[in-house]
Amino acid sequence: MNLKRPSVVKKVAVVGPECTGKSELSQFLALHYDTSWVPEYARGYLENLVRPYEQHDLLTIAHGQIRLEDKYEKDCRGLMICDTNLYVIKVWSEYKFGNCHPDILHNIATRKYDLYLLTYIDLPWVEDPQREHPHKREELYNIYLNEMKNQPVPYAEIKGLGEQRHLNAIQAIEKLGIER
């Protein structure tokens, strides 16, 4: 990959249901392309919450995610990998609460990404106190897939285990004209 700082950063967001390897894939891709990855803001926020989360917390999480993306973009080398983005918060909000805050929807419509990597449910479920729906993964995946089909940015379904999963993601990113 060209190490000069280009004027435009390509943004790749990794989205999908919980426990589908978004964080691991994001970290791998950032290392592979020698760039920054934006962690999931929600994880730290929820770990520090001393009560069950409520719908208004999702707006706070969305704003935190946006701030992280804007902060990390300054240090990227032409490519920024986002471990989640506002589509994840939208799906989460609509699934749990039946609607999504208009500000989240506005930011989805106005923030630019170049590619979405939709992680498939072929990884085994791992228990985590922040995960809620181990038996609804297929239903949630189909919701994400529908979201991806109904937005204008290219997306790739990322399936497979280990190296195959990584290779599938790399091939999707290379279609943006970005090489290692």
Q: How many CA atoms lie within 13 A of 106 on its CB side?
A: 5
Place 5 in a pLDDT band, splitting at 50, 70 and 90.
Answer: very low
For residue 25, name the pLDDT band (cuts at 50, 70, 90).
very high
Residue-level pLDDT at 4: 45
Q: Read off the amino acid at residue 96.
A: K
C-beta atoms surrounding 51 within 10 Å: 6
Confidence of residue 125 (pLDDT cuts 50, 70, 90): confident
Name the CATH topology of 10-174. Answer: Rossmann fold (3.40.50)
Q: How confident is the model at residue 3 (pLDDT cuts 50, 70, 90)?
A: very low
Task: Flag whether the pTM goes above 0.85.
Answer: yes
Separation between Cα atoms, residue 179 and residue 177, nearest integer Å = 6
How do strand 155-158 and strand 115-119 relate by DSSP bridges? parallel
Query: Is residue 130 very low, low, confident or very high in pLDDT (cuts 50, 70, 90)?
Result: low
In whole angstroms, give the CA distance from residue 88 to residue 14: 9
User: Of 69, 101, 105, nearest to 84 (Cα)?
Assistant: 69
Does the pLDDT value for residue 133 go beyond 70? Answer: no
Q: What is the pLDDT of residues 44-81, one digit of tens each?
A: 999 999 999 999 999 999 999 999 999 999 888 889 99
Mean pLDDT in residue range 3-30? 86
> What percentage of the chain exceeds 70 in pLDDT?
92
Residue pointed to by tokens 């922040």: 130
Assign 83 to helix, strand or coil: strand
- Asked whether 159 and 122 are in contact (CB, 8 A), the reply is yes
H-helix segments, 34-136: 41-47, 55-73, 86-97, 102-110
Distance CA 49, CA 45 (A): 6
Judged by DSSP in three states, 15 sits in: strand
Torsion of CA 37, 39, 9, 170, to 10 degrees: 50
The pLDDT of residue 149 is above 70: yes
In the predicted model, what is the mean pLDDT of the chain? 91
Output the six-digit token pair for 25: 């894939």
